[in-house]
Structure 1
Amino acid sequence: MSSLPELPAANVKCHEQPNNQTMMSDNNDFDVTILGGGLAGLTLARQILMERPETQVAVVEKRTFPVDETTCKVGESSVEIGAHYFGEVLKLKKHLTDDQLPKFGLRFFFREPHQGLADGTEVGGSEFFSAPSYQVDRGRLENYLADHAEDMGVTVFGGSKTRSVTLCSECEGADQHEVEFTQQGDTTRIRSRWVVDASGRAAFLKRKLQLSEDIGHDINAAWFRIDANIQVDGWSDDEEWQTLTGKVPRRWLSTNHLMGEGYWVWLIPLATGSTSIGIVADPRIHPLSTFNSLEKSMDWLEAHEPDCFDSLQPHRDKVQDFLAMKNLAKGSRQVFSAERWALVGEAGVFLDPFYSPGSDFIAIGNTMVTKMIMDDLAGRPIDHLAPTLQSIFLTLFQNNLLTYRDQYPLFGNPRIMALKFVWDYAVYWGFPALLYFNDKLTDVGFIQSLSKGIEEIRDMNLQMQDFFRAWFQADPEVNADPAFVDQSEVELMTRLNAELREKLDDAALRKRFGANVGLIRDLMFEITDRVKRTQPSVATTIPEMRPSTNRLCQVFESLNL
């Protein structure tokens, strides 16, 4: 673990007396101040108070609640870690079940220019996976969290703009951080033992401390919502295709990905009846300037995804919002400090929305921050804990980054991507999801006991992502043959997902993790062995070995490999 960066020099006035327009009193002292009352900030406040109800928590938020349910934010689609965090850790399952939508997994469509949606390759499940996930209407969820936060005792300063944060390390002898904000023209200062930045892309602390880091993953995005339920199930009248996922149309409940070289388009249904549509692209192939307005986005969809364009065109008068964003992926050199500050959510890091990891990293980050706060408030030192949890967090982030970096050129190739999905899911369910579901990502000793297996998974993942790129270089043809790769029929996928719901003691969990390392290793050999038979020119450092068990025969046959 490298040493933590020093704070940049700052021109700080420490503990100056407030002027006549600045309010400060004894009841402005808190244990924790959270900058930002969005998804990351409000879930953190809830988690802290569920762990320690007497904790004094303040949330400083620029909006006032309730917010408009149509809120232009990424993060509507959850996957297993985030869904488990919301439903089980935060006890929000009733809200998710009653007021949000169940998610029918991730679904991917590949087509060539002459093909319709049903004529190409589809990858997804015919049944729901065992571990649930949800399509989350962010505005609705954040209103629910804000309403219940005040009931739990959180002090919410709505309609407030953070003006400054003075960390206690900047002032000799200080033992509290100080946050200054304006609210309805008045300036208020509050003090707290902890300050956590959950301000999203405003990234107040990251900017102040100059922690931004280029992670080498350049993607841009534009997204909007339409007040209409756009269902991909109706994009073809082929009855056989329509019934591949059951008698009742339900593809629309998936996070649907329309795939092409250098891009993907999402369609996400929301419980309010709206549909979220987004374009995410590698600027080397599809510059942001080609879709950075609603009109340009529609023109772009007409050119690249005409079925999607045709379904949206009748509803253009129902567009609710639009946002374009450059440089979506963000890194940070530091996210936690033993000096009692932290960055969570997009105020810290953000990867890529492709596999919906945003709420996962909120879950992991918030859980780690809660652990540090609980230990600190209980009088236990965190000098070792903070950098160790940060190392775990950033290791997970960097390993996940491998999944996306320099992979967008492959996105239009169904044979490569269908196998990449199996690989990526296996790594995700077999490693971080398994440990999070068993509440072990903050158990430093347990994580360190798995270090050899974690390092092997990281090395295998690096080799496999290189392999997928090399395969594309050797065989860039799309070949979107009519096929349905049914992930519900891939036994290793259904088993790894179902095993997330099993509660294991330490010995059983260690054994399961070891078995997963072996399975992932075997999967690496099976994929590379099969591909090298048809593409012997693919360059790879992976040794030529036969797998102990063939698990993907059905997938290979569906893809004509």
Structure 2
Amino acid sequence: MKYDVAVIGAGLAGLSLSRQLLLNTDKSILLVEKRAEVPTPRQKVGESLVQVAGYYYGKVLELEEYLFRQHYMKYNLRFYWKSAERDNRGFEDYCQAYIRTFSNIPCYQLDRNKLEAELLRLNRQSSRFTFCAPATNLEVELQEQGAHSLRCETGNDTVSARIDWVVDTSGRSKVLARDLDLEQTNAIRHGSTFLWVDGLVDIDRLSELSSRERRMSPDRASTGHLPIWLATNHFMGEGFWFWVIPLQGLTSLGLVYDQDLVPRDEVATPEKLIDWVCKQFPLFARDLPERKILDHGSYKSFSYGCARTIHPSGWALSG
């Protein structure tokens, strides 16, 4: 078989690239994925968009109505610090920095699993799209000139293809990066531990104040009345931040930290992370210990690089 583009990896990068090509070109796409189930049954991290990504998914990929119906619109970024003179057991105790007004380009809080399922559904509607999963024993032979070749197995079948462009969107699997010896290490030693809990963690309610007292607070003159929980909320400390991101029916919580300042062993599991966060930011002790944990994950060191990401002979890396 002959395809214009082979995309390796059916995560967000691969599915998005496939949709963009299907919408804006006449190219044929072969999407190859090692997993049997897309999206994965495990919840995927990386939910908070910035404006350029909001524009890309809403306008370029033509998903605007879907995004507004199925995901939350993001209310900017907000940052919080403990107040030295207070016990920080209530939300009102924290210093904060924020942008109150919305951008004229909407962005969103994405449930990655839902979005990836929708992208795959839309891509499959095109006769120019072929999805190969689960793919095993993948072999790619790149040529300096002319078509590349790809071979893999799926079930009892063997797929062989000639391709003009090969795009590796396999992320940490680094299919082409490993084959071409493009991996780069760096000096950044930042880790992350994250989890998802059932329901909405509304940080504005983590307080002894009544609903009326919160509504009538003089601080509302500056903070406004839009739901604070719609923001990507960051609780800050030296060498770390803790995020709170709302999704439909669940909340994403996660810590990004410098391993030289926050020992990984103290935050390596969901239980340890919740205990650590409640000590660092006592307002969360009102809520998180009672929440049902739906899923969790971590990266010991999440930063990695690549020596090159595109080549005129017809290969590229993305995502």
Please state how far the C-alpha of 1:30 moved relative to its aligned partner.
0.6
Distance in 2 (CA, whole Å) between partners of 1:300 and 1:92 is: 38
Corresponding residue for residue 331 of structure 1 = 305
In 2: Cα distance, 1:258 partner to 1:63 partner = 35
**Given that residues 31 and 130 in structure 2 are in contact (C-alpha distance below 8 angstroms), is that contact kept between their aligned partners in structure 1?**
yes
| 1:298–1:166 CA distance, 2 compared to 1 (3 A) | same
Aligned residue in 1 for 2:253: 277
**Match of 1:47, as an amino acid?**
Q
Rounded Cα–Cα distance in structure 1 between residues aligned with 2:250 and 2:34? 25
Q: How many angstroms does 1:261 deviate by?
A: 0.8
1:154 paired to 2:151: no
- The Cα RMSD (Å) is 2.0
Q: Distance in 1 between matches of 2:243 and 2:310?
A: 32
Bigger radius of gyration among the two: 1
2:83 maps to 1:105: no
Q: CA deviation at 1:79?
A: 0.5
Deviation at 1:106, TM superposition (A): 0.6
CA contact (8 A) 2:240 2:258 kept: yes
Match of residue 219 from structure 1:
190
The AA in structure 2 aligned to 1:166 is E
Residues 162 and 179, structure 1, Cα contact 8 Å, conserved in 2? no
Q: Residues 96-495 of structure 1 correspond to what in structure 2 (within 5 A)?
A: 96-112=67-83, 114-116=87-89, 117-152=91-126, 153-161=128-136, 163-169=138-144, 175-236=146-207, 237=209, 239=214, 240=217, 243=220, 244-247=222-225, 250-271=227-248, 273-315=249-291, 318-345=292-319
* Counterparts of 2:124 and 2:218, CA distance in 1: 49
Conservation of the 8 A alpha-carbon contact between 1:65 and 1:146: no
CA-to-aligned-CA distance 1:7-33 (integer Å, 9 cap, x gap)? xxxxxxxxxxxxxxxxxxxxx221100
Structure-2 separation of matches of 1:313 and 1:328 = 27
Q: Counterpart amino acid of 1:155? A: T
Higher share in helix: 1
Query: Secondary structure, in 3 states, of the residue corresponding to 1:296?
Result: helix
Offset at residue 226 of structure 1 (A): 1.0
Give the direction of change, closer, same or farther, for the CA distance of 1:60–1:33 in structure 2 (3 Å limit). same
Note closer, same or farther for the CA distance 1:288–1:178 as it changes in structure 2 (3 Å cut): farther
Change (3 A) 1:328 1:66: closer
Q: Mean Cα displacement is larger for which, 226-235 or 207-216?
A: 207-216
The 3-state SS of whatever aligns with 1:168 is: coil
C-alpha contact 1:77 1:135 (8 A) present in aligned 2: yes
Deviation at 1:245, TM superposition (A): 3.5
Question: What is the alpha-carbon distance in structure 2 between the residues aligned to residue 133 and residue 314 of structure 1?
Answer: 31
CA contact 2:88–2:281 (8 Å) conserved in 1: no
Q: For the Cα contact (< 8 Å) 1:118–1:241, is it kept in 2? A: no
* 1:59 aligns to 2:36 (yes or no): no
Uncovered stretches (5+) of structure 2, i.e. residues with no partner: none
**Amino acid in the other structure paired with 1:32:** V
Q: Which has the higher contact order (CA 8 A, sep 6+)?
A: 2
TM-score normalized by structure 1?
Answer: 0.52
What is the TM-score when the length of structure 2 is the normalising length?
0.90
- Given that 1:264 and 1:280 are in contact with CA atoms closer than 8 Å, whether structure 2 keeps it comes out as yes
Aligned-partner Cα distance in 2 for 1:130–1:50: 25
One-letter amino acid matched to 1:101: Y
Secondary structure in 1 matching 2:125: helix
Does 1:77 find its partner at 2:48? yes
Kindly state the Cα deviation for residue 64 of structure 1 after the two structures are TM-superposed. 4.2
